Chain A
Amino acid sequence: MADSFVITPTHYMLLSAALFIIGVIGVMVRRNIIIIFMSIELILNAVNINLVAYSAQLQNAVGQVFAIFVIAVAAAEAAVGLGIILAFYRNKETINIDEMNLMRW
């Protein structure tokens, strides 16, 4: 790799990939649905880091505009998702995703 003291977009991409994988592991391994939602937020943040890093590299603000849209969509998704969790919790008194199997035969 290049001189470690110069931070290239590759460094940001590796950071973003690592954060992405941590989020994916959180979604796969944990069974508390709120932790799963938070891992999805980690994934979205990883994508944002990548976008902003390349926006700084290419000196084009499009990356930051896209990151703003990602944040807006994440806010909408968190609101609706947590509403669904609350509605489900009121009916079934659980937040364990293995017990959310109403549609299984």
Chain B
Amino acid sequence: MGTAIAFYFISACILGFAVLVISTKDTVHSVLFLVLDFLFVAALYVLLGAQFLAAIQILVYAGGIVVLYLFVVMLVNLKRPPEAHSDPHRKTKLGLGLAAAVLAELALLAVRSSDMPVRPIVEAAAVPVSGNTEVVGWMLYTSYLIPFEIASMLLLVAMIGAIVLAKREL
């Protein structure tokens, strides 16, 4: 019962702040709503028992990526808001209608699939450690070591790329 109340409250906040992110005129306010959104998503992860992922979400997403967005927003702050007039070629209502159709389809799929029995597709490997962080760490370093290494290479490449792109003169 407490889980249900927490879930409904957190999801209402997540969806509410997400709508505010895409609809606020001021970009800085939009970024701040995004931070709040990520904090509530981290709370949802704690509710699901993924404490390590919740801490990583706050540390990387809310404390790293969104800080980067905030820096860029402050550096490109123009005097006039960039959407002073709307483009006549943009078909906003058609886009919103299509989005509503996709949402209805996804909702139908979700509700229909809840009647099907759930079979674990991947055999849960018996890891010799217990505790959320330990299990995730064990899997990261044994079964999924190669994606882990590739992800670190990806981050290195992205770091070098971002520095090269943002430098004033090479």
Q: Looking at the complex, which one of B4, B27, B140 makes contact with A4 (CB distance below 8 Å)?
A: B4
State whether A58 and B107 are in contact (beta carbons under 8 Å apart), knowing that A28-B95, A28-B99, A75-B60 are contacts in the complex.
no
Tell me the bound Cα distance from A12 to B150 in angstroms.
Answer: 30
Is the beta-carbon distance between A30 and B22 smaller than 8 angstroms?
A: yes
Q: Looking at the complex, which one of B22, B38, B92 makes contact with A45 (CB distance below 8 Å)?
A: B38
Is the beta-carbon distance between A31 and B155 smaller than 8 angstroms?
A: no
Q: Which residue of A lies closest to B158 (CB)?
A: A76
State whether A38 and B82 are in contact (beta carbons under 8 Å apart), knowing that A68-B140, A85-B72, A86-B166 are contacts in the complex.
no
Tell me the bound Cα distance from A18 to B107 in angstroms.
Answer: 9
State whether A80 and B161 are in contact (beta carbons under 8 Å apart), knowing that A21-B102, A61-B139 are contacts in the complex.
yes
Q: Looking at the complex, which one of A7, A64, A90 makes contact with B50 (CB distance below 8 Å)?
A: A64
Chain A residues bordering chain B, tally (CB within 8 A)? 76
A89 CB to closest chain B CB, in angstroms? Answer: 5
Residues of chain A in range 1-60 having any CB-CB distance to chain B below 8 Å: 1-2, 4-15, 17-26, 28-32, 34-35, 37-39, 41-42, 45, 48-49, 52-53, 55-60
- Given A15-B14, A41-B65, A80-B165, 7 further pairs, Cβ under 8 A: A15-B15, A19-B15, A34-B76, A69-B147, A69-B151, A75-B65, A82-B68
Residue pairs across A and B with Cβ atoms less than 8 A apart, 9 shown, are: A5-B1, A38-B30, A42-B18, A42-B22, A72-B60, A75-B155, A76-B155, A77-B158, A87-B166
Question: Which 7 pairs show the lowest CB-CB distances between chains A and B?
Answer: A83-B165, A76-B158, A26-B22, A17-B106, A10-B114, A83-B162, A13-B110
Where the two chains meet, the residues of B that have a C-beta atom closer than 8 Å to any C-beta of A are 1, 3-4, 7, 11, 14-15, 18-19, 21-22, 27, 30-31, 34, 37-38, 41, 44-45, 48-50, 52-53, 56-57, 60-61, 64-65, 68-69, 72-73, 75-76, 78, 82-83, 87, 90, 92, 95-96, 99-100, 102-103, 106-107, 110-111, 113-114, 118, 120, 122, 124, 127, 132, 135-136, 139-140, 144, 147, 151, 154-155, 157-159, 161-166, 168
